[in-house]
Amino acid sequence: MESELTVTVERVDDFVLLIQVMMRLSLPAILDRHIPRHWLQEGLSWGWVATIWLAHIVSQGDHRKLTVRDWVRQAHTTLEATTGLSIRDTDFTDDRLTIVPRELSKPEYWHAIEQDLGQNTVRVYDLNVERVRVDATTISGYHEGSEDGLFQFGKSKDNPELLQVKLMMASGDPLGLPIATDVVSGEQADDRLYVPIIDRLVSTLNKTGLLGTAR
């Protein structure tokens, strides 16, 4: 009796490459090392939820939570083949996705993840970081603010009538590779944000004398 052939057709796009790059950087393992897993938790770890979600964001240009579950469903076979994992339909519900940024927003988790990822990235790409630049920028938008929210009014080069957040970033030559980042509320001044991120740079790279001058 002839066996019946089943053909599964899925659109691959670029997410396979994105996941492979993140696996090479050990991103899932690094996230799992620092984000605790509840002892009753089933399904994918937070590291893998974040990795696949990040692949979706970059590949699809869509950061919304509500589209992720359907995207995973239509790429299910390819995702399982790429990751070697068994992926459930309930691994990417809105409530599970909400937990990921909530945990990443905790400084004690984020700083430890940032340090491990930075050290591993330098090793993977065999980078000899000779200069680091630290700077702040603002991102404004038409958002509803709150008293304790990230979006606040502050000094802006764009439109001071819009709420904004402030991004503090340290990047290293020769690739302009982000090594440390902080996202803070938009009313904060730059000055007091430099020392904490410089301290984290020194800890991550285990090297001093790297700060470049602005031109």
112, part of any domain: no
Sign of CA dihedral 62, 37, 90, 96: negative
Asked if the model's pLDDT at residue 146 lies above 90, the reply is no
Q: Within this chain, do residues 91 and 148 fall inside the same structural domain, yes or no? A: no
More confident residue, 8 or 51: 51
Same domain for 97 and 135, yes or no, is no
CA-based torsion, 203, 206, 208, 210: positive or negative: negative
Q: Taking the CB of residue 30, how many other CB atoms lie within 10 A of it?
A: 20
The Cα 78–Cα 66 span in angstroms is 21
61 domain-assigned = yes
Task: Supply the angle between the helices 27-34 and 46-60 in degrees, to the nearest 10.
Answer: 130
Q: What whole-number distance in Å separates Cα of residue 84 and Cα of residue 80?
A: 5
Decide which of 101 and 8 is more confident.
101
Two tokens at 189? 């001044």
Whole domain around residue 191: which residue ranges? Answer: 129-205
When divided into structural domains, the chain yields a total of 2
High-pLDDT (> 90) share of the chain, %: 44
Across 15-36, average pLDDT: 94
- What letter does residue 139 receive in the DSSP assignment? E
Q: How far is CA 136 from the centre of its chain?
A: 18
pTM confidence score: 0.77
Please report, for residues 29, 47, 169, the alpha-carbon distance to residue 32 in angstroms, rounded to integers and kept in the order given.
5, 5, 24
Rounded mean pLDDT of 15-20? 95
Q: Specify which of 39-43, 76-80, 161-165 reaches the highest per-range mean pLDDT.
A: 76-80
